[in-house]
Amino acid sequence: MPLPVTYADVAAAAKHLEGAAHRTPVLISTTANEMTGAQVFFKAENLQRMGAFKFRGAYNAIAKLSPEQRKRGVLAFSSGNHAQAIALSARLAGIAAVIVMPSDAPPLKLAATRGYGAEVITYDRMKEDREALAKKISDERGMTMIPPFDHPDVIAGQGTAAKELIEDAGPLDYLFVCLGGGGLTSGCAIAAHELAPNCKVIGVEPEAGNDVQQSFRKGEIVKIPVPVTIADGAQTQAPGLLTFAIIRELVSDIVTVSDPQLIEAMRFFVSRMKIVVEPTGCLAAAAVFNRLADIKGKRVGVIISGGNVDPAALGRWLA
């Protein structure tokens, strides 16, 4: 069966993103190389617009809307980086956006999303079903719903992160990717498969939220309860249909890291590399720092997926 997204889609997404997304830097650290025995290349998507790679997929999905769809605008439900990515991309495209968020979402995130010009509609997490609410709004207003990972244009957009990394760092033996619902991992796997065919792609999940690892091992989608982890961008309960189909085909393995390992990685990034990375953004790096694959002497890519963390929480974790 052909995969739902091809490298041509990733290359087309890269064209759409030209001049809109930052080409984020590839960072290297002698200390990280010494610690791991590998040559590590960090793709710093914490420095992407709105602070995470999610801008890539959101912007690409919006760029591909028809004129009719643009007139009616877009809708997303998310309290995390996808919300801000859709809000910013919609503003840049000059179209309306509605973001459906729980009323108890962190005030900072509500404010940031409104700050990008989106209309935020809140719901009561205990009483209302957010998908039903989102569907009602999109039916009433004719808005196009853009999901956070299980969408071909979102997956293709996310894949541009690995495309840039391999173009800038050269061929890789391994690529470690932070994994929630699998949009980033599947997109990056498609890019790596084309540009560095011998590169093994490893998805990294939080230990408590290993829905994709379980699905990968079982060969079918496994759904888990909402996981408890500080990696709030990877609290997914199951991979998507499209992302899982791609991951099964192109990903070599899925490994997990613990919350304390994420905190250690955050500390390393702040103290040694002078960058702020959110817990979810540390998943891939934590796997490499703990040598969860045979990376000795290898050229290893790591996607740092985002940097949106509450400074007070960061301070508590690092204290």
Q: Which is nearer to ligand PLP, 150 or 173 (CB)?
A: 150
Contacts of 180 (CB under 8 A, 6+ apart): 149, 205, 209, 231, 233, 234, 235, 236, 280
Q: Which of 257, 272, 251, 253 is nearest to 318 (CA)?
A: 272
Q: Which is nearer to ligand PLP, 137 or 242 (CB)?
A: 242
Catalytic, 138? Answer no
C-alpha to C-alpha distance for 232 and 110, rounded to whole angstroms: 16
- When CB distances to ligand PLP are compared, the closest residue is 306
Sign of CA dihedral 233, 237, 243, 248: positive
Shortest approach of ligand PLP to residue 250 CB, angstroms? 14
Q: Which is nearer to ligand PLP, 24 or 280 (CB)?
A: 280
Shortest approach of ligand PLP to residue 288 CB, angstroms? 15
Among candidate residues 54, 109, 163, 200, the one labeled active-site is 54
Distances (CA, A) of 162 to 56, 176, 197: 12, 10, 13
> What tokens does 23 get?
């080409």
Q: Which is nearer to ligand PLP, 124 or 310 (CB)?
A: 310
Catalytic, 79? Answer yes
> What tokens does 67 get?
């004129």
Q: Residue type for 18, please?
A: E
Among candidate residues 43, 78, 79, 89, the one labeled active-site is 79
Residues that bind ligand PLP (CB under 6 A): 52, 54, 80-81, 148-149, 178-185, 233-234, 278, 280-281, 305-306
Shortest approach of ligand PLP to residue 182 CB, angstroms? 5
Shortest approach of ligand PLP to residue 109 CB, angstroms? 12
Shortest approach of ligand PLP to residue 150 CB, angstroms? 9
User: Quick count: other Cβ atoms within 10 Å of Cβ 145?
Assistant: 16
C-alpha to C-alpha distance for 187 and 194, rounded to whole angstroms: 11
- In the chain, the DSSP E strands lie at 26-27, 39-44, 74-77, 97-102, 119-123, 144-145, 174-178, 200-206, 253-257, 299-304
Q: Which is nearer to ligand PLP, 173 or 278 (CB)?
A: 278
Catalytic residues: 54, 79
